[in-house]
Structure formats: structure tokens, C-alpha cells
Homo-oligomer: A and B are copies of this chain.
Amino acid sequence: MNRLDTWLWEALQEDLEHGDVTAECLIPREARGEAVVFGREPFVLSGVSAFERVFQLMDSSMQTACLFQDGDEIAAGAPVFRLQGNVRSILAGERTVLNILQRLCGVATLTRRMVKALEGLPCRLLDTRKTTPLWRFLEKAAVRHGGGRNHRFSLSDGILIKDNHIAAVGGVKEAVRLARQGAPHTLKVEVEVDTLGQLKDALEAGADVILLDNFTVEKLREAVALNGGRVLLEASGGVTIDTVRAIAETGVHFISCGALTHSARAIDLTMELFPSPHFSAS
């Protein structure tokens, strides 16, 4: 049982506990039917394998089909998934799978909107570690399906010196020096700066990547000039669909945005069931 399966199984258990008392009263154990899932608004798809595995885990005889791929743009009302099998199994998984998809598609859809706003510019849109706890691997995939790129996955796979680190060691220069000395030789050293002064320190100390936190567009332009193409620059803070293009046009290499994963609105998805005509045991 791989990571996704374990995750989905826990999600199913949360909603099923000791069983679906409504369906057990109403639906014959062997009743069969079909169902389709569609959106009531347009969206970018993410979560295809979650959908398929949820129903496989519940009932290995379920037939599932996905008519699109992760990353596709789907029109309102278009059938995205089809299901064929035991009606009780379909109903038992319905809410869980919609709860998963509505969130992942929400993240992918918001990401796609921002990426489109950057069209024609070399700047890349990044996510952050501001993800929903227990959902990081899924939300980071949804960002990719939306066209964004992933920043580091966890505290283990990248050096990023932040304000609290700098406060702790006493300055940008000392922080970068310590990181260069102690970091695994396979990792670059990234440091967050709040001012142009700190930016100069970071450049002098030999940082590989510099995160410009809450810089105005004007300050970003100065920062890009100051850098003169030496290191990679990442802008963060105040990134919205309205500001993202102006930020990118300053010439920074990356823009990172926490809202992609922590505040995307859920997509309105629904499942419609078509019981088989005679609704009898197979």
C-alpha cells in the first residue's frame, strides 16, 4: 500500500467510520449503477489518480474512467469521471472523493490563472511550504498541474535562511557564511532579505539564491539592477492575480505565492448517479 493509498484509506475511514447507515437502509447490497462527476464551473483538473484509487480501495470490482488528464482545462458541466459498479460503493466514496477533488482542482485552477498572467515572461511561479498539513504531496502536484513549479518540499531538502534565522545568528553575512560551511555540498544556499542593504550583504557573502521579501515593485527593480544577473532572485509577499505580472516584469527569476495552497477556493463539483434500470443484483 503506497503513500497515496494509505492517505486515501484514512480519508475514507474518516467519513465511513462503521458504515453508511443511510445506504444500508435504502440500497440493496447488490444494486449496480453508473455515475458521472462534473463541475458546475470551469476548472483545471488535478487528482485523477486519487479518484481512481479511492474507488479501487473500496471495491476492486468498480470500473472507473477519466476522460481527461491532470492539467486539462474543463468546461462547466463536462463529464470528467465515469463510474460503473456497486451503488453502495459509489455512494460511500462520493463525498470523500469530491472533497479531495474540489480542493486539488481549486489549487490547480488558481495556479493556472496566475501562470497565464505571466505569459511571455521568463519568470516562474513557485509554491511555498504554506500548504495544508497532510496534503503537501497532493497540493504540490496540483501546483504543477496548474503550470507552477515547486519550491523546496520540506525543511530537509533546501537551505532557506529566513528572518528568524538571521535574528538568531546576528546578521545576513554570518548566516550565509555558516550555511556555506555546514550545508551538504549538494544544496544551494538561499537567503531571505528585507532590504537592499541586506541584499548587498547576501551577495557579498556568496548566497546562491536570494528571496526578496515584501519588496515593492520599485525596490524589486533596484534589486534586479543591483544583482546584475549574478544570482537567482525570488520575490515573495503581496502576490495576487492583480500584482503578479508587474512583479515578474521587474526581472526577478521566481515569484513564490502561499495563497496558491492555503487560500484557493474549492471548485463546485458534483456526482450524479444513474441506477441501473432494474436495479437488481448482478
Please list the residues of chain A having a beta carbon within 8 angstroms of any beta carbon in chain B.
1-3, 7, 9-11, 13-27, 31, 33, 35, 57-58, 87, 91-92, 94-96, 98-100, 102-103, 126, 129-137, 149-162, 164-165, 167-169, 175, 178-179, 181-188, 190, 209, 232, 234, 253-254, 258-259, 262-263, 265-266, 271-275, 279
| Listed residue (A58, A133, A188) with the most chain B CB atoms within 10 angstroms of its CB | A133
Residue pair B14, A167 in contact (C-beta under 8 Å) = no
A27 to B168, CA, bound (A): 7
Indicate how many identical chains form the complex: 6
Contacts known (A1-B1, A22-B159); A185 close to B253, Cβ less than 8 A: yes
Picked from B9, B154, B188, the residue with its CB within 8 Å of the CB of A188 is B188
Residue pair B14, A151 in contact (C-beta under 8 Å) = no
A267 to B194, CA, bound (A): 22
A29 to B33, CA, bound (A): 34
A13 to B17, CA, bound (A): 11
Across the interface, which residues of B come within 8 angstroms of A149, CB to CB?
184
Contacts known (A25-B182, A167-B273, A168-B273); A92 close to B155, Cβ less than 8 A: yes
Picked from B103, B132, B158, B263, the residue with its CB within 8 Å of the CB of A187 is B158
Residue pair B186, A22 in contact (C-beta under 8 Å) = no
